[in-house]
Amino acid sequence: MPLVVVGSVAFDSVETPQAVRERVLGGSAVYFSLAARFFTKVRLVGVVGEDWPAEYTALLQTHSVDTAGLQVVSGAKTFFWRGRYHANMNERETLDVQLNVMANFNPVLSQELRRCKFLFLANGSTKMQLNVLSQCVGPMLTVADTMDHWIRTEPQELRELMGRVDGLVLNDSEAKLLAQRDSLLGAGRTLLEMGPRFIVIKKGEHGALFFSKHEMYVLPAYPTDRVVDPTGAGDSFAGGMMGYLAEQADYAPETLKRAMAYGIVAASFTVEDFSVDRLLKITREDVELRMEEYRRMLTF
Amino acid sequence: MPLVVVGSVAFDSVETPQAVRERVLGGSAVYFSLAARFFTKVRLVGVVGEDWPAEYTALLQTHSVDTAGLQVVSGAKTFFWRGRYHANMNERETLDVQLNVMANFNPVLSQELRRCKFLFLANGSTKMQLNVLSQCVGPMLTVADTMDHWIRTEPQELRELMGRVDGLVLNDSEAKLLAQRDSLLGAGRTLLEMGPRFIVIKKGEHGALFFSKHEMYVLPAYPTDRVVDPTGAGDSFAGGMMGYLAEQADYAPETLKRAMAYGIVAASFTVEDFSVDRLLKITREDVELRMEEYRRMLTF
């Protein structure tokens, strides 16, 4: 089943201890789409400025991403992020953020997009996420991501969103902040009481936790030796997860767990090169091979 | 097969955000033994002072631990450690260490102990560990633990030890320190080149990594809701792991992986109460039940 993702499309400048890359393709919706595309058709909803190269749109299109929902605003600039990774590659600092066109991003979905069955609200303001959710008619599964910035600045809206989505995906420090809990397990349980049917807490190099009313589990990250650039790992995780769910047109507990595993596998590829370079080079077969290795690793 | 462990026997005073416990039973060899005893007979080698209550020796004996190697030094005091856990329960600070009898701990093993087939060198000075190793005749499997203190103060001895043991178990920050690497995967590979046939890196609440020439994998911690006191989790992990290996009298790759899983399960019980209280209350059946849950958690 087709999957809609609403989120950022960006230029990223990334500094790692080994190298620097300027203004490469990035953004939550981009990473998400390029990870989900192995499983299903992805419809991307986002906004860019007139500095956006048409080749990037073409690149997305040739990789099974429908860009009809990508709005180009003339006289404006694309969202820009600059970050630096520390030696351990699991900590980063944001050096610069220029919201540009993202500052007023409030998409109006086409009739076709409104009828989508699987919806992912990637990083963006909670108000925007709520607005998109209101436009959708009878989605089967809606999942949202959020960030510390929105947790601090739009707490009311976030509570409303949590009452309306099926799932929430966020990273460990954000989960603790939102739940006001010190332990991750405690945070997961508290967030579950705020409304969503399931909570996924991403732990970066340590994997991800899943919480629902009936189960809780943790899956480790797939250990890859070449961590080149962790940018987009979390969004690719969500893309792999939602892509698989949309393909299966199902979100039963066992499907959700396999979806988590596919998300982890997708993220493990993303970090192996800068930007979306690695995701562009691999095929569904590569994903399945690594999934088999991952499954074998956890069998004893 | 019987298993010998050489390490600390201690009184611990533990402060957590919820409670304080004064001078409870602790020490690396104690936690190790009480986790390994589900699988095999454990022979503990350690030293205590005259403040050591005979009831503790009796307690160990009634839980399948042979204490013939536990030396009581009159006119001296037992090793004492005081620590405080922070709100997230994964970080702790040492408030006080009184080595006492451990300062001169250099055991002379009995003829019976020297012929042991499975040997674990728990926390203690590297010189002492080397001395013990030299006394042993034809062990099948020798594994050592180490700590930042010994990495800094006895680097030469540690390199010698690494050339002589089959396996090394240490925590994540210690692995990075010893290998002089920023990434855990890099650290594991580097340590492997220093001699041991396998390296286990413990990540606390995030599980453990295994490295050998032919494989590398990560297993998550078993997520338990009631983390009361993490003291001894790492030593219990080693106890569960070595206990299972000694029971199987084998260290083939698949046995080692199951041993890692048993170690993780043992550690998950340890943290559920202060001191060794939880370990004393459970049975092999409890261990097997949780092992089944753990296996199910990792199946998708």
- Distance from C-alpha of B121 to C-alpha of B98, rounded to nearest angstrom: 21
pLDDT on residue B66: 98
B297 contacts A295? CB cut-off 8 A: no
pLDDT on residue B81: 96
Per-block mean pLDDT, blocks of 10 residues, chain A (300 long): 96 95 98 98 98 97 97 97 90 93 95 97 96 96 96 97 98 97 95 98 96 97 94 98 98 97 98 98 98 98
pLDDT on residue B34: 98
For every residue of chain A, DSSP letters joined together read: --EEEE---EEEEEE-SS-EEEEEEE-HHHHHHHHHTTTS-EEEEEEEETTS-HHHHHHHHTTTEEEEEEEEETT---EEEEEEE-TTSS-EEEEEEE-GGGGG------HHHHT-SEEEE-SS-HHHHHHHHHH--S-SEEEEE--HHHHHH-HHHHHHHHHH-SEEEEEHHHHHHHHT-SSHHHHHHHHHHTS-SEEEEE-GGG-EEEEESS-EEEEPPP--S-----TTHHHHHHHHHHHHHHHHT---HHHHHHHHHHHHHHHHHHTTSSTTHHHHH--HHHHHHHHHHHHHHT--
Residue among A182, A220, A224 whose CB faces B207 most closely: A220
Per-chain mean pLDDT for chain B: 96
Chain B nearest-CA distance from A183, in A, is 5
pLDDT on residue B114: 97
pTM here?
A: 0.95
Closest residue of chain A to B215, computed from CA coordinates: A297
Chain A nearest-CA distance from B148, in A, is 19
Instruction: Provide, as residue numbers in chain A, all residues whose Cβ is less than 8 Å from the Cβ of B223.
Output: 185, 209, 216-218
The token duo for B142 is 């020798």
Strand order in the sheet with B92-98: B20-26, B10-15, B79-85, B92-98
- Per-domain residue ranges of chain B: 3-297
Query: Is the pLDDT reported for residue B36 higher than 90?
Result: yes
Instruction: Provide, as residue numbers in chain B, all residues whose Cβ is less than 8 Å from the Cβ of A206.
Output: 203, 206-207, 220
CATH tag for B3-297 (out of 3.30.390.30, 3.30.160.270, 3.20.20.80, 3.40.1190.20): 3.40.1190.20
B37 bridge partner residues: none
Chain B nearest-CA distance from A203, in A, is 9
Write the pLDDT tens digit of every residue in A157-216. Answer: 999 999 999 999 999 999 999 999 999 999 999 999 999 999 999 999 999 999 999 999
The verdict on A147 touching B (C-beta cutoff 8 Å) is no
- Of B20, B13, B22, B34, the C-alpha closest to B243 is B34
- Distance from C-alpha of B198 to C-alpha of B255, rounded to nearest angstrom: 13
- Distance from C-alpha of B191 to C-alpha of B86, rounded to nearest angstrom: 30
A206 contacts B207? CB cut-off 8 A: yes
B223 contacts A217? CB cut-off 8 A: yes
Write the pLDDT tens digit of every residue in B239-287. Answer: 999 999 999 999 999 999 999 999 999 999 999 999 999 999 999 999 9
